[in-house]
Amino acid sequence: MTDYTSARVLADSVSSVSSEAHRLTTLEVTFPRIILAEFNTHRVFSRNSASSRAIPVKRQIENVLERPYVPQRFPLNQAGMSAAEYIMPGDSAYIACVWKWLAARDAAVEYVKALVSEGVHKQIVNRLLEPWMWHTVIVSSTEWDNFFELRISEFAQPEIRRAAELMREAMDESTPNFLGPYEWHLPLVTSDDVALPLAEQIKCSVARCAAVSYNRHTDRDVDKELSRYKSLAQNRHLSPFEHAATPSVLAHANFRGWEQARFYLERGLPLEEMVRD
């Protein structure tokens, strides 16, 4: 079965305003939805991710039918949290396990359709499809060692271990940019955006990170993004403001050596305080 687990660096920066040279890295990671709770236990992370509440039921059904998550191996039951033995592809029992896994998906799809016919909202019916979903998250952090120590381990669940290995590999292959005062770490802002004023680049970065909730963060429409930024700020949806950041000599919130755009917004500081064009 196809493994869609992936990781790529969206922005990689080192603060040059202090001797410690704190590295801030933002990644886009895709992994099975079943491990999201484990991923979210790491509180040093800033993250935004695809939302079961935001994506239409029809599209979710298409996703789990066309590219479902299916275990690459099925753990054999035993005492404790970690399995030691697995039913592997090539074993006679593996195909039977896959068939039962997908039969459960097909049954869930039918019940989702039945609930939709009763007028039930996507925010609850989509939950029935989550075991077969692939999930995309945008994650930023200045501290990764504990995550990699725990998740790249023989005791970690294989699905999150696979994601963590790809994340570390992507970071090892990435060369960070050194940023000075008033320069900005801006995920999803590319060379196509350099003609925009810096304040608008920050807004676009925030808006694009927020758009991962409905898997449209790779779209580009500056006018819509500026409008989305305004809506996020007015409605106090502030987590997408954590990925855009500028170097600092101090630790702020969950970042070391960086001030997040959220830091300014929460203090009611004008956007002009955030930039020096």
Of 2, 1, 3, give the one whose Cα is nearest residue 162.
3
Query: What does the buried/exposed string (b/e) look like for 19-32 if buried means 16 or more CB atoms within 10 Å of the residue's CB?
Result: eeebbbbbbbbbbb
pLDDT in tens, 77-126: 888 787 778 899 988 899 999 999 999 999 999 999 999 999 999 999 99
Q: Choose between 183 and 276: higher pLDDT.
A: 183
What's residue 80's pLDDT? 78
What's residue 76's pLDDT? 87
With a cut of 80, say whether residue 1 has pLDDT above it.
Answer: no
pLDDT in tens, 198-255: 999 999 999 999 998 866 666 678 899 999 999 999 899 999 999 999 999 887 899 9
What's residue 241's pLDDT? 96
In angstroms, the CA 233 to CA 139 distance is 20
With a cut of 80, say whether residue 261 has pLDDT above it.
Answer: yes
What's residue 215's pLDDT? 64
Q: Domain spans of the chain?
A: 57-132, 180-273
Q: Could you tell me if 195 and 221 are in contact, meaning their C-beta atoms sit under 8 angstroms apart?
A: no
Least confident of 39-43, 95-99, 193-197: 193-197
Of 213, 201, 211, give the one whose Cα is nearest residue 244.
201
pLDDT in tens, 57-76: 999 999 999 999 999 999 88
Region 51-58: mean pLDDT is 88
- State the average pLDDT for the chain: 92
What's residue 138's pLDDT? 97
With a cut of 90, say whether residue 257 has pLDDT above it.
Answer: yes
